[in-house]
Structure 1
C-alpha cells in the first residue's frame, strides 16, 4: 500500500511542477494525468474481483486519457508527448492481454498496469525541465505546432 502513496505524492509533485512551470502542453498533460488518477481513486476497490477481470470503468478512464494525450501529442510543438501517448497505449494494451488470456495471474496484471505510470510521470517532469531550459536559452518556446497569428496573416 505504501507504493500507492509514494506514486500519488510523486505524481502530485510533478503535476504541480508542470502546472506552475510548464507550457500549455505540459499543463494539459498534467491535468489529464491527474484527472485520470483521481477518477481511478474514486472507483471502488474490490479485492476479490480486482485484477481478475478487466474493469471496464478503468478501461474507459484509460481510453479517455489516451484520447486526450493523443490530441496533445498531435498538436504540441514537443516530442515528449508522443512518448507519453505511446507508453499509455502500452498500458491500454495490457488490458487487452488480460482480456485475451484469462489465465494471467492477477498480480502480474496489477504490476504491469501500475508500473507503466512511473515513466509517464518522469517524461512529464523531463518535458517541463526541457521547456524551462529552452525558455532560458532562447527566450521563448512555442507551445503548439500551429500559430493563431500565422493563420490570421500576422507575424
Structure 2
C-alpha cells in the first residue's frame, strides 16, 4: 500500500510539473504517460504470473509515442525517455518464455523502468523552463 502511494505521488508530481511548467512536448508526454498508467491498471489482471499482454500493448504504444517525439524534438530528454521505455518494454518479451512463479521479479522490473521515464520527463521540463527563462 505504501509503495502504491509513493508511486502515485511520484507520477502526479512529475506529470504535474510537466503540465504546469513544460512546453507542449512535456505536456503531451505527461498526458500520455498518465493515460498509459490508467490503461495499464485497467488491462492488467494483476497476477503477473504470465506476460501481461494488455500492458505490453500499452507499453509499446507509449514507446512509439516517445520514439516519434524523440525523432522530431530538438531536446535530449525524449531520447532518454524512449530508451528507458524500450528497456521496460523488453521486460515483457523476456517474460514470454517464462512460466511459474516469477510474478514479483516481473512486476518489479516493469515498475522499475517507469521511474527513469518519469525522471527524464521531469528533468526535461526543468531544463525547458530554465532555457525559456534565459532567453
**1:136 and 2:130 are equivalent in the alignment:** no
**1:90 and 2:82 are equivalent in the alignment:** no
The 5 A counterparts of 1:2-151 are 2-43=2-43, 45-46=45-46, 50-102=47-99, 105-138=102-135
Name the count of aligned residue pairs.
135
**Runs of 5+ consecutive residues of structure 2 not aligned to the other structure:** none
1:72 Cα offset (Å): 1.0
Q: 1:4 to 1:130 in 2, by over 3 A?
A: same
1:55 Cα offset (Å): 1.5
In the alignment, the residues of structure 2 paired with residue 35 and residue 72 of structure 1 have an alpha-carbon distance, to the nearest angstrom, of 17
What is the CA deviation profile of residues 118-138 of structure 1, one whole-angstrom value per residue up to 9, with x for unaligned ones? Answer: 111111111111001111112
- SS, match of residue 100 in structure 1: coil
**If the length of structure 1 is used for normalisation, what is the TM-score?**
0.81
1:44 Cα offset (Å): 5.3
1:41 Cα offset (Å): 2.1
What is the CA deviation profile of residues 93-137 of structure 1, one whole-angstrom value per residue up to 9, with x for unaligned ones? Answer: 100110133357221111111111111111111111100111111
**Runs of 5+ consecutive residues of structure 1 not aligned to the other structure:** 139-155
In the alignment, the residues of structure 1 paired with residue 123 and residue 18 of structure 2 have an alpha-carbon distance, to the nearest angstrom, of 10
What is the CA deviation profile of residues 18-40 of structure 1, one whole-angstrom value per residue up to 9, with x for unaligned ones? Answer: 01110111111111111100111
In the alignment, the residues of structure 2 paired with residue 44 and residue 96 of structure 1 have an alpha-carbon distance, to the nearest angstrom, of 16
In the alignment, the residues of structure 1 paired with residue 110 and residue 44 of structure 2 have an alpha-carbon distance, to the nearest angstrom, of 17
Q: Which has the larger radius of gyration?
A: 1
**If the length of structure 2 is used for normalisation, what is the TM-score?**
0.92
In the alignment, the residues of structure 2 paired with residue 75 and residue 24 of structure 1 have an alpha-carbon distance, to the nearest angstrom, of 13
CA RMSD of aligned residues (A): 1.5
